[in-house]
A and B are shown apart, each in its own frame.
Chain A
Amino acid sequence: MSWETVIGLETHVQLSTKTKLFSRASTAFGKSPNTNVNLVDCGLPGVLPSVNKEAFYKAIRFGMAVGAQINQTSIFDRKNYFYADLPKGYQITQMDLPIVLGGSIEITSDNSVKTINITRAHLEEDAGKSIHDQFDGYSAIDLNRAGTPLLEIVSEPEISNAKEAVAYMKAMHQLVTYLDVSDGNMAQGSLRCDANVSIRKKGASKLGTRAEIKNINSFKFIEKAINYEVKRQIKILESGEKVVQETRLYDSAKDETRPMRSKEFANDYRYFPEPDLLPVVISDQEMKEIKDNFPELPKDKEVRYEKDFKLSSYDSKILASSKSMADFFEDAAEKTKNFSLLANWMIGEISAFLNKDVIEIHESQLTPNNIAMLINRIDDHTISGKIGKSIFEEMCSTGESPDQIIESQGLRQLSDDGEIEKLINSVIKDNSKQVAAYLDGKEKLFGFFVGQVMKLTEGKANPKTVNKILKEKLKK
């Protein structure tokens, strides 16, 4: 029997505001537990939420980018449930009137383009974190994350397989980072999703019973979790049983999904309008300001790169695909004239290094200044491309500037004709057998002589000069 998969994703995007959604505490990641916490965040008696408008602007920017309807009046609701890391015993969220309604996002999967519609996106506050394995016999609560603004983006059930789901999340990642709505850091939980997965007989119109896989936080896991879940559901249906509607967790260590304990989700959330907040109204003037300051999106960047930097469309597309790479490129391009060499390095060496270490460029030791300096040193023949690569490795590990490395290690390229000629003379003198063979017609040996010169200069001799002088010498 032939089955088809139907997936809808709920994406949680942590908005990159400086302070929390309803308090003035910092949202900085990685601080020691319970330091980014004020009276409001720990839900002390008598405290009240106050609104951080920056979060609304970011949500609206997202809405505009996906062509959604923006609700300029925001009303909040309380979602009531008890959990130790939910300080107030309720989460402030938007139930009936989400700030973003509708819209769509374009994804590319298996070389074809598909449009996925967005149902809605609403603002809500994040909960804190429970830590169960650090104190014997106790659970610990870290409220640093409590109150961090989230935009929950709900897609229509229009995603057909795990690859499309990954493509959707990648498109989402690109969009939210480009819009400066979020830092998109999946490892830190800034971008994560719940996947609603169901299967049905091919061609059937009615949706199958779905399972919701909670809190997936990497592209790899999205693919694996969905693939596992689809197989599991097919197996159940083919054996004549029924899929249970439930919430499941993906365990990456075992590569499987399994049900969450029923206690963790069997809740009547008793939603009702948040009486501590008046409706938040975004004025037409504010809407205009958001529109007027709209950030450049990848497609516009591609066109601009081809025009301004004379890059190929292929290079432009790759560079523009990631906001952090594009920003880095543009910053470096201000300090060098050889844009194509810079682009080559960005797409080649730098990307390879980042992929190998699995880090983002802003997390590395590299700076646009240093990379521009490196390109300039290659461009003005201070060093060769090959030395450039070893300097680059040094830069990656120490963060030193190319000039510092060139100076401290004496890597300046040897271009002085007289100096090189002397070296060549000694190579010819020391290798008279090979010289004879070369003159006999064994022209392959030319490389050997170049190698010897390089060896003597530890690779610093300008290869062009070496070639030129060597050719002249060997003619004689």
Chain B
Amino acid sequence: MTIQFKSITELRMLLDQKSISTSELTQESLKLVKKYKELNCFVTMNEDVSSKKANVIDQNKKTGSMLSGIPLAQKDLFCTEGLRTTCSSKILSNFIPPYTATAVKKLEDAGSITIGKTNMDEFAMGSSNETSYFGNVHNPWKKGYVPGGSSGGSAAAVAAGIVPAATGTDTGGSIRQPAAHCGITGLKPTYGRISRWGMIAFASSLDQAGSLARTAEDCAILLNTMSGHDLKDTTSLDVAVPNFLENLNNPIKGLKIGIIKEFNLSDLESEIQSRFQDSKKLYEKLGAEFVEISLPNISASVPTYYSIAPAECSSNLSRFDGVRFGHRAENTEDLNDLYIKSRSEGFGDEVKRRILIGTYALSAGYYDAYYKKAQQVRRLIKNDFDHAFKSVDLLMTPTSPNTAFAFGSKGTQNPVELYLEDLFTISSNLAGLPAISVPHGKVNSLPVGLQLIGNFLREDQLLNAAHIFQENSDFHLAKPTMEDFS
């Protein structure tokens, strides 16, 4: 029996009906990894441990949780005890953490099986997965095309049907944009909904763990497990976690959806506009109401983000100095030389670029003009959202201004070109709001995504709207042929 392209919900049924054992499922999943090796979506495999765990689960007669026995892949910036964690960087290419990230631990405690760690943009900096030390990841829909980023390996692994779902992190769109480019569903929860403990930091005030899956329903299952306050992360929210599966099927009649006036959609490729209009019509048919709404400061999102995120990254990445762990340069003269050589050798260009930008933005004499100003603008953007959510339940945008592109075709000369990939996704990170991307058709045979942004802690509403959309469409059921890869 092929388990490829099955959702968590479907696999759960197969397991519960004993149509397949956990071991068989795990082995099938591991086989698919090998079969599609060329996709390059995994950096490190966890074969032995996952096989053993699968056996244990099979022997244990008790019925487990929803996730028991489900194979998952973890983005390689979640620390996993005893399993190499690289952030797709040379500087961590030999790093084996002594502990496991809270988000992953919760998934594993629920019985899921981590089959491996997925490729990503180095330290999550990038939108195409091309900054990885471990090479490009192919988009399962088209060889030689990017899967998006930074959670590109996770998105490709799910899109190729190797695992039903994978973890990701989203600092400026790193879950939603690759989900859109790979034709799957990606959820970035509210900032603080899931603990950041064990998640290797890029930009602390923006980083958020989430999931990439085949359906909104599966995202709800994962969110149920991953959420919750963690004493080890003071920025995780100490709020009750609702059962996100409960309200999935609520009718959405009367749901008010805002279209952001400042995002000039007529600038986009006409086919992308058409998909957006089609989805709008579908929602209207399902009873939702649309209003145009102004978020006056949202156009400042990209520059604001590219001041704050690099500033935090420049500080967060200081610990990679070759002293205690990770890559250390050889034949160094003194401590300074050790730093310079280890970091010069260990980091890739994009990471270096952002460290430089961030260091500059925080420097004496520039702090007020860049970092502080950016934080003030961030507050204005957040206020815009607060204001908008007084009159709407959700906001809707395309996830990305375009479809997946060919390797090396974007941002190689001008990095800003690539930064604009995040135009629609960045503002919800700045405001700390939950957002989801669902597939809504194809343009030139490549998937495109629809983004819904929810109010603070209202993932329930977001998942409900996304689920109803998927119940009434079949975009999420589309599968790549994979013929170029086998």
**Chain A residues within 8 Å of B, Cβ to Cβ:** 39, 42-51, 78, 80, 82-84, 87-90, 139, 141, 263, 268, 270-272, 275-278
Contact = CB atoms under 8 A, between A and B. Distances in A.
A143 to B, nearest CB: 9
Contacts of B233: 48, 50
Main secondary structure of the interface of A (DSSP, over half): loop
Given A45-B200, A80-B362, A272-B371, A141 B315 contact: no
B204 A275 contact: yes
B234 A276 contact: yes
11 contacts: A44-B98, A45-B200, A46-B77, A46-B97, A82-B318, A89-B319, A89-B321, A270-B314, A270-B363, A276-B201, A276-B204
Interface in B45-103: 77-79, 85, 87, 92, 95, 97-99, 101
Interface centre among B78, B85, B101, B235 (most CB of A within 10 A): B235
A88 B314 CA distance: 12
Interface stretch (B26-34, B191-199, B290-298): B191-199
Nearest to A270: B362
B318 A90 contact: yes
A275 B205 contact: yes
B311 A46 contact: no
Nearest to A130: B335
B318 A45 contact: no
Given A84-B323, A270-B315, A277 B95 contact: no
A90 B234 contact: no
Contact of A46 (B198, B321, B324): B198
Contact of B97 (A43, A45, A83, A278): A45
B356 interface: no
Main secondary structure of the interface of B (DSSP, over half): loop
A176 to B, nearest CB: 27
Interface in B183-234: 196-201, 203-205, 231-234
A44 B315 contact: no
B319 A43 contact: yes
Nearest to B199: A46
Nearest to A280: B234
**Across the A-B interface, the 4 shortest Cβ-Cβ residue pairs:** A89-B318, A275-B204, A270-B362, A275-B205
B363 A268 contact: yes
Given A47-B197, A48-B234, A88-B319, 10 more contacts: A45-B201, A46-B200, A47-B198, A48-B235, A80-B362, A83-B335, A87-B323, A275-B205, A275-B235, A277-B234
A79 to B, nearest CB: 10
A318 B320 CA distance: 53
B359 interface: yes
Given A45-B79, A45-B87, A277-B235, A272 B325 contact: no
B312 interface: yes
B92 A276 contact: no
Contacts of B335: 83-84, 139
Contacts of A139: 335
A78 B324 contact: no
A49 B233 CA distance: 7
A46 B234 contact: no
B367 interface: yes
Contacts of A42: 324
A83 B196 CA distance: 26
B369 interface: no
A82 B318 CA distance: 7
A339 to B, nearest CB: 49
Contacts of B325: 44-45
